[in-house]
Amino acid sequence: MKWRVGFFLLFLFACSDSYDNSDFSIFRYNESNGISTLDPSFAKDKATIWATSQIFNQLVSMDNNMEVVPDVAKKWIVSEDGLTYSFYLRNDVFFHDHKSFIGGQGRKVIASDFRYSFDRLTDEKIASPGSWVLNNVKNYSAKNDSTFIIELNSPFPPFLSLLSMQYCSVIPNEVAKNSAFRSNPIGTGPFKFQFWKEGVKLVLRKNENYFEFEEGNRLPYLDAISVTFIKDKQSEFLNFLQGNLDFISGIDPSYKDEILTKEGGLNPKYQDRITMQSLPFLNTEYLAFLMDNNSELSKNIYLRRAINYSIDKEKMLKYLRNNIGEVARNGFVPKGMSSFSDSVIGFSYNLDLAKENLKLAGFPNADGLGLIVLNTTSAYLDLCEFIQSELKDIGIRLKIEVNPPSTHRQMVATSKLSFFRGSWIADYPDAENYLSLFYSDNFSPNGPNYTHFKSEEFDNLYEEAIKETDSELRSEMYQELDRLIIKNSVVIPLYYDQVVRFYHINISDFYSDAQNSLNLIRVIKN
């Protein structure tokens, strides 16, 4: 019977949209930016992470509270010196069926599968962008079929969080070696690959042999997932309202005033058929300065502070974001992170202090200060135009240059921009992930220090903090590092973002987390 169900689902998805009236429980969402691969070794963006997280598992995972929980590993032990991690695997996790396996049936996952997966992750020929996850790993080995050992070069308390990333998914060598794995993935996850016509539709089908249960019921509850690739956000929104999509994520200017009130709540006319979900998002929106290019912005801390003081972030959030998010009154590390503290005091809107710092910078009333260029992408043009207007109040002339997203990312990564808008979404839920952007050994293009900020005081404390095993003490160190970033005005944190989702009321048990994960394992569609 299983093959009949699978064939029927494939036929429906591949050939028509008539599945909407079927008896199957199918969750539908859209990826406007498209999906370039289904290989978890390349899961560096939201679209790929969302898709691959349905197909693959790791040693450990994150729950909705951003706590590390067992996944393929049922338990683990960390040595007293923090250098050796011993993982003990479940014996009921199987790869999805594939012709590469004996009899076409997926075999049981064993420790050597993780050894192969990590070898693949670090293989220079594969060139995974996630190879950095294992930079601090000295050695890893399969002690036996059920025990996997990882040894670190130095203690690193957030290491378990790194292992929860999609990069660290378990992959079968039989399939990865002998197939186009990016487009025909085989994993162990709650859903298995069925069909992908790039740029048109992706279909994932329920894994009937998934190892997780809830109250005696095998997960997942959904029969399938259908992903479309509508590029236009307005069209995506209309498809959602028409019931062709089950949820949308985020707020786009094209529809924000339609679905939201000015206060940031759900428009009353949709409250009988749509649920709005919002929670803190581990994402900081910011402006950044390149610190080593000998420009006036680079050399003059008073000029950077003047710009900081001149931006009314509350007004910006109210008019441009309908109060979605939270004004960044503190440091670079966002709310939602466990080490976040209100004791880290950032810059507040103050025109008098802005003018005073502009005078200290040597440019009273901005006299003699040339044109300042701010680089951004079209998605954030309204935000940058607002900043342009704010700086005008203290006499600063700001020119906005709009780059295609890929060009912008490349120019930031290669330190070509003196002043730019950026977003930093946590790769893993530890403040170190944010603070690493200011560590001098991470200078771009070989690391994420895009500002080329260099401070011996910061570096020494950072190196001490990442080895500290006492979580409270480490948090205090993180906060002091954040203060140093603010003190030096390396960046201008604008706001801490929120996860905002809208879904139809027939969807239940649909939860997110501070990383905006897409966890569909327990979702029920009525």
Short-list 354, 250, 337, 288, CA closest to 33: 250
Short-list 136, 180, 495, CA closest to 334: 495
Taking 70 as the threshold, does the pLDDT of residue 102 lie above it?
Answer: yes
In angstroms, the CA 159 to CA 179 distance is 31
Query: What is this structure's pTM?
Result: 0.87
492-518 tens-digit pLDDT? 999 999 989 999 999 999 998 989 999
In angstroms, the CA 303 to CA 300 distance is 5
φ/ψ of 406, rounded to 5, equals: -65, -40
Mean pLDDT value across the chain:
93
Taking 80 as the threshold, does the pLDDT of residue 450 lie above it?
Answer: yes
Our separate counts of H helices and E strands in the chain read 16, 21
Q: For residue 210, what are the CA distances in angstroms to 38, 71, 113, 206, 207?
A: 19, 12, 18, 9, 5
- Write down the pLDDT at residue 19: 42
432-442 tens-digit pLDDT? 999 999 999 99
How many CB atoms within 10 Å of residue 281?
Answer: 25
191-244 tens-digit pLDDT? 999 999 999 999 999 999 999 999 999 999 999 999 999 999 999 999 999 999
Domains of the chain in start order, with CATH, are: 1-38+47-55+189-255+519-526 (3.40.190), 57-182 (3.90.76.10), 281-331+341-498 (3.10.105.10)
Q: Answer yes or no: are the C-beta atoms of 288 and 491 closer than 8 Å.
A: yes
Taking 50 as the threshold, does the pLDDT of residue 387 lie above it?
Answer: yes
In angstroms, the CA 393 to CA 353 distance is 13
Q: What angle do CA 190, 196, 198 make, to 5 degrees?
A: 135
Report the sign of the C-alpha dihedral through residues 224, 13, 518, 234, in that order: negative
Model confidence band, residue 254 (pLDDT cutoffs 50, 70, 90):
confident
Taking 70 as the threshold, does the pLDDT of residue 473 lie above it?
Answer: yes
Concatenating the DSSP letter of every residue in 397-461 gives -EEEEE--HHHHHHHHHTT--SEEEEEEE-SSSSTHHHHGGG-GGGBTTSSSBTT----HHHHHH
Q: Answer yes or no: are the C-beta atoms of 69 and 60 closer than 8 Å.
A: yes
- Buried/exposed 377-406: b ≥16 CB within 10 Å, e otherwise: beebeebbebbbebbeebbbebeeeebeee
153-185 tens-digit pLDDT? 999 999 999 999 999 999 999 999 877 999 999
- Buried/exposed 347-361: b ≥16 CB within 10 Å, e otherwise: bebeeebbbbbbeeb
5-36 tens-digit pLDDT? 444 455 444 444 444 446 789 999 999 989 99
In angstroms, the CA 217 to CA 89 distance is 22
- Write down the pLDDT at residue 22: 60
